[in-house]
């Protein structure tokens, strides 16, 4: 492991906006902030918004700056990634933002109804395994256990496959689809930060001439019987990869 990465891990250990918690103790006792994020961490009762797969935290920090009426928590599996956003938020003295590592075990960290919204920004589309998609029916079931009834999930993606799949999944399961924007930067719909905040990956895709898509829909009811859309089997896969591995089919 490089010295720079080791320094980032050391910084995160000292950053009060970052909560890293080992999985082991969760099997014996609940997470101390579960059900009490507002009162004990943020010191208010404002709605809580999660960003899953937050990467460097650009979106988490950007939304927190743009909207002081909500608390934002960025979550990513790799701690070194969140260093950029967590450090920026700490230096700016922000009080409505936090970071956690690992998307797994959401139900151990958040109580039923504690989360108002979830943002999923530029996730791996997982074209071969629906069970691993952050907008797949398995994860929808997880979200339903921590989100308030009627809470909204927001997807922002470069992937035509994931965008189409998610819309089919939402319609198949009777989830209310709100804004549906096939080209975010070619539209004036939605909040300004939908266009103004650009993550590292978003700028990469824009530089390659790809359009950015956005979809919002309601969380399913807790314990709803969700079904995968059969039409998804006919979707064309994406024809590009990251800069070093692929191409764009024009």
Tens digit of each residue's pLDDT (9 = 90 or more) over 48-58: 999 999 989 99
Does the pLDDT at position 247 exceed 60?
A: no
pLDDT at 8: 78
pLDDT at 77: 77
For 21, left (φ over 0), alpha (ψ -120 to 50), or beta? beta
Does the pLDDT at position 78 exceed 80?
A: no
String of b and e for 66-77 (b: at least 16 CB within 10 Å)? Answer: ebeebbbbbbbe
Q: Is the pTM of this model over 0.95?
A: no
Structure tokens at 31: 């997470």
pLDDT at 35: 96
Tens digit of each residue's pLDDT (9 = 90 or more) over 25-43: 666 677 889 999 999 999 9
For 185, left (φ over 0), alpha (ψ -120 to 50), or beta? alpha
Neighbours of 236 (CB within 10 A): 10
Among 119-123, 134-138, 190-194, 237-241, which is the least confidently predicted range? 237-241
Tens digit of each residue's pLDDT (9 = 90 or more) over 183-228: 999 999 998 999 999 888 888 889 988 999 999 999 999 999 999 9
Does the pLDDT at position 246 exceed 50?
A: no
| Interacting residues of 9 by C-beta distance below 8 A, sequence separation 6+ | 79, 80
Structure tokens at 123: 């996730």
Mean pLDDT of all residues belonging to the chain: 89
The pLDDT of 230-235, averaged and rounded, is 95
Does the pLDDT at position 47 exceed 90?
A: yes
Q: What are phi and psi of 27, to 5 degrees?
A: -75, -20
Catalytic residues: 124
String of b and e for 110-132 (b: at least 16 CB within 10 Å)? Answer: bbeebbbbbbbbbbebbbeebee
């Amino acid at each position: 492991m490089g010295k720079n990465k080791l320094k980032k891990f050391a910084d995160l250990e000292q950053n009060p906006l970052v909560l890293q918690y080992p999985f082991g103790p969760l099997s014996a006792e609940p997470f101390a902030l579960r059900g009490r994020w507002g009162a004990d961490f943020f010191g208010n009762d404002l709605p809580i918004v999660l960003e899953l797969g937050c990467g460097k935290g650009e979106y988490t920090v950007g939304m927190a700056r743009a909207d002081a009426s909500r608390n934002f928590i960025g979550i990513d599996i790799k701690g070194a990634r969140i260093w950029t956003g967590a450090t920026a938020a700490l230096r700016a003295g922000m009080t409505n933002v936090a970071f956690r590592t690992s998307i797994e075990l959401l139900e151990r960290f958040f109580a039923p109804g504690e989360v108002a919204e979830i943002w999923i920004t530029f996730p791996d589309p997982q074209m071969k395994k629906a069970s691993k998609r952050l907008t797949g029916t398995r994860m929808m079931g997880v979200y339903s256990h921590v989100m308030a009834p009627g809470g909204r999930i927001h997807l922002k993606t470069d992937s035509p496959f994931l965008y189409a799949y998610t819309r089919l999944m939402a319609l198949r399961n009777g989830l209310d689809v709100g804004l549906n924007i096939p080209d975010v930067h070619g539209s004036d719909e939605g909040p300004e930060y939908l266009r103004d905040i650009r993550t590292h990956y978003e700028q990469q895709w824009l530089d390659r001439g790809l359009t950015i898509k956005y979809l919002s829909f309601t969380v399913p009811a807790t314990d709803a019987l969700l079904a995968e859309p059969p039409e998804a089997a006919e979707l064309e896969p994406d024809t590009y990869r990251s800069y070093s591995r692929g191409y764009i089919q024009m």
